[in-house]
Structures are given as structure tokens and as C-alpha cells.
């Protein structure tokens, strides 16, 4: 049986959608991970965006007002899930998670899954509905609204179960079908079967 108590992160979910092997490596094998250049850069840009964001109004979010909470650590005992959210805008009626994105590429399905996980965490933490999430595109200084469907929320629960099953049974997942992802992957030395 999967270990219901195995604590997972929003990053595990996002990585699982990218390649199911990555959370396996993280939780089953003692693979040492190093912060990548994008991770380092992300920390630096976060500080800059926070400073800019504090001076902005709420019109970019289609809201009359609200309260901003930056760098929020969220945890759900019920889901066995935690994560750190860049920003949440809180109003009397609802909450709006915001993720800062440092690239111009389109919002992909693994990103929507990540936001669905934050929606679940925010709904539980604030006991308020989350009608919309936003991806804040740093280069364009634009907040793009994302309606997170029930299918993505369901997918969060299914993937949490799938990761726990894989870890509990030490079942090595299939590689991603998108082999272009393997070229720059920090785990490629552990995936001898794909080359």
C-alpha cells in the first residue's frame, strides 16, 4: 500500500508531470541534487518582482482591492502536501494564488497542475474559494488568469497516489515520452536504458 504519510511537495507534482522518474529519484534513491542556474536566478528575480508588485494596484488581477501575502509556506496534513507560493491575493470572499514566471513560453500542463495544487492548499488554508489563479509573466509585467478546472484538481490527487505507490513499491517508472527533455536532465546518468 502507498505510504499515506509520505510528505510530498508541489515541486514533486510538477516534476511528475514532466517525467515520472524524477520524484522517484528524489524519494527512493539518495541522488544528490544541486541548485540549477534557473533556480538561483529565480530567487534573485523573486526579490525584484516583490518590490515592483508592492507598488502596483490590483487592477491587473481584475480586483478592486485585497491583501498580498508573499512567499507563503502552505501545508495540508490531509493531502500530505506542502509548497511555497510566490504570492496570494486575499479578499473577503476569495483567494487568488500567483506564481511568478521568468520565461516567455506558454503556460504548460505541468504548470497548470502546479497551480491546481496551490489552489487546493490555499482553499484549505484560508477556507475561501479560489475562482482563479494567475501566472505573473515577469518580462511582460502581466498577470495571466488561469481557470483551474476540476480535472486538474483531480489530477493532483491521482498523481499524489501514483508517486506514493511508485515509492512504496520501489517501482521504477517509465521514462518520459518526450525524449528532448532528457538531454539537459540532471538525472540522465541514472537513465541508462534510454540512450
* Closer CB to ligand SF4, 12 or 86, in the complex: 12
* Closer CB to ligand SF4, 2 or 173, in the complex: 173
* Closer CB to ligand SF4, 48 or 194, in the complex: 194
Query: Least Å distance between CB 190 and ligand SF4?
Result: 7
Query: Least Å distance between CB 191 and ligand SF4?
Result: 3
Query: Least Å distance between CB 11 and ligand SF4?
Result: 14
83 beta partners: 74
Please answer whether residues 145 and 181 qualify as being in contact, where contact means their C-beta atoms are separated by less than 8 angstroms.
no
11 CB burial (10 A radius; 0-12, 13-18, 19+) = middle
Task: Tell me which residues touch ligand SF4 (CB under 6 A).
Answer: 19, 21-22, 175-176, 181-182, 185, 187-188, 191, 194
Query: Least Å distance between CB 108 and ligand SF4?
Result: 15
Please answer whether residues 81 and 117 qualify as being in contact, where contact means their C-beta atoms are separated by less than 8 angstroms.
yes
* Dist. CA 190–CA 195, nearest whole Å: 11
Burial call 69-80: b when 16+ CB within 10 Å, e when fewer: ebebebebeebe
* Closer CB to ligand SF4, 16 or 101, in the complex: 16
Amino acid at each position: 500500500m502507498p505510504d499515506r504519510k509520505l510528505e510530498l511537495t508541489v515541486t514533486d507534482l510538477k516534476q511528475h508531470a514532466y517525467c515520472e522518474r524524477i520524484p522517484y529519484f528524489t524519494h527512493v534513491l539518495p541522488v544528490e541534487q544541486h541548485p540549477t542556474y534557473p533556480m538561483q536566478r529565480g530567487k534573485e528575480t523573486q526579490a525584484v518582482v516583490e518590490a515592483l508588485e508592492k507598488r502596483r494596484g490590483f487592477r491587473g488581477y481584475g480586483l478592486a482591492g485585497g491583501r498580498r501575502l508573499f512567499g507563503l509556506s502552505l501545508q495540508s496534513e490531509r493531502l500530505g502536501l506542502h509548497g511555497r507560493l510566490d504570492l496570494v491575493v486575499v479578499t473577503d470572499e476569495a483567494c487568488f494564488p500567483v506564481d511568478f514566471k521568468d520565461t516567455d513560453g506558454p503556460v504548460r500542463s505541468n504548470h497548470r497542475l502546479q497551480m491546481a495544487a496551490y489552489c487546493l492548499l490555499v482553499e484549505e488554508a484560508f477556507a475561501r474559494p479560489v475562482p482563479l489563479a494567475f501566472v505573473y509573466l515577469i518580462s511582460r509585467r502581466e498577470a495571466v488568469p488561469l481557470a483551474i478546472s476540476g480535472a486538474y484538481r483531480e489530477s493532483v490527487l491521482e498523481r499524489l497516489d501514483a508517486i506514493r505507490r511508485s515509492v512504496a513499491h520501489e517501482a521504477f517508472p517509465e521514462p518520459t515520452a518526450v525524449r528532448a527533455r532528457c538531454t539537459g536532465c540532471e538525472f540522465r546518468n541514472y537513465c541508462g536504458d534510454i540512450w
